[in-house]
Amino acid sequence: MYQIHKLSSGVRVIAESNPNVRSVSLGVWVGNGTRHEQLTQNGASHFIEHMLFKGTDRMDASELADAMDTLGGEINAFTTKECTCFYGRVLDEKLRQFADLLADMMFHSRFDEASVETERGVIYEEIGMCDDTPDDLAVERLTLGVFDGTPLGYPILGTRDSLRPMTGASLQGYMRAHYTGDAVVIAVSGHFTPDDLSYIEQVLGDFPAGPRPQSNAGAYHPAFSCVEKPTEQNHIVIGFPTFSYLSEQRYALQILNNILGGNVSSRLFQRVREQLGLCYAINSFLVTHADCGLMAIYIGTGADSEQKALTEIGKTLADVTHNGVSNDEIAKVRDSIRSGLLMALESTSARMNHMGKGLLLQHGVASPDEVAARYLAVTRDEVVDLARQVLNPAQLSLSAVTRKGSADAYAKQVTDSMAF
């Protein structure tokens, strides 16, 4: 079972020992992401994530990379709208070395101006890659649009204009203000000893004591966007507002998502792709935050097929809201989610991720069996009521990356098809 305790700095530690494996996964989770930034700071969280791999007082970037390679395993980091995580999976005999390396990165990174300038160029290229990937761009434009006016509407990477003024000193200042004890969770899963855990707490728990930085509120509003690019296919994303990842409705929402477009047996995939052959890729997915969320449907389709495909999407959504879903669909999806959850959490990396994210963002960690039980408790009536609440044509948003098109016209095609 999980061991959870709080250090004097405010850092929380969660650990789960498994003596039957040789690997151990360690993550430092920081409650700082894009939603904690001001407009002039946009991209700072992601920039800092990059800079912590660019050299410390003891090692330059090349030596740091060599040290990581020597450890073997997997070492990486990511930034989201809600948090930043630095993590790795190594052999148990390398755990203390990995903890030392992470501590060096956390507390002794250089932020020298030459490295800042180099990494700024790398992030500019990262922004360009997103702009050149039409499906990613369509999703990005949707999320930026529906959350516009709040930090949830800021791009994680920042923009060229927001990144340009940032210096090593300004990034270090941002890090000092946001990487405080109350904002940090250290998660460990796998094969380790009590002495190993004490060592990790000693070397990684030394964040400055202080309250967790306040996040800025997010809110959904309908938005429409169309970017014209010379693409082979038209990439269209349709969105509807949902709710916080803390809501008890999240289990029914995941089931609804899977029924609509979460897998290859879903209604949208079977109807639009398999039966009618109107696309290659179609799926639905969820974007969730602490105070709001989004259900989205993505399709990549040719210009000749797009009108019929959008009509069929609208009809499928209308069928769910008017006629509901079957008990067989609910049972199949519940079993699929339960199986996927339990199998995924057989790895130490997945279990560390589950623990760290849960404690940091959801204020507690349910066991895999408890999560599975919550999915099994969802009823047909809950899913149908939720579909009627979420799939409201008046709240529909749409983003498209096409050769030629109109977001308003695409949206009208869907909403007209949703009307019985």
Give catalytic residue positions.
Answer: 49
Element (H, E) at 241: strand 234-241
Residue found under tokens 């099994």: 376
First to last CA, the chain: 51
What does the block give as tokens for 177?
């203000």
Spatial CA neighbour of 27 closest among 212, 176, 194, 184? 184
User: By the 8 A CB rule, do 145 and 199 touch?
Assistant: no
- How far is 152 from 145, CA to CA, in rounded Å? 10
Helix (H), strand (E) at residue 372: helix 368-376
Which helix (H) or strand (E) segment holds residue 99: the answer is helix 95-108
User: Do residues 33 and 357 make contact, with C-beta atoms less than 8 angstroms apart?
Assistant: no
207: DSSP letter: P
- ∠ CA 41-47-53, nearest 5°, is 155
Contact by Cβ (8 Å): 77, 101: no
CA dist 215 and 31 (Å) reads: 9
**With 0-12 CB in 10 A as exposed, 13-18 as middle and 19+ as buried, what is 132?**
exposed
Helices vs. strands in the chain: H and E counts, helices first: 16, 11
**CA gap 162, 155 in Å, rounded:** 11
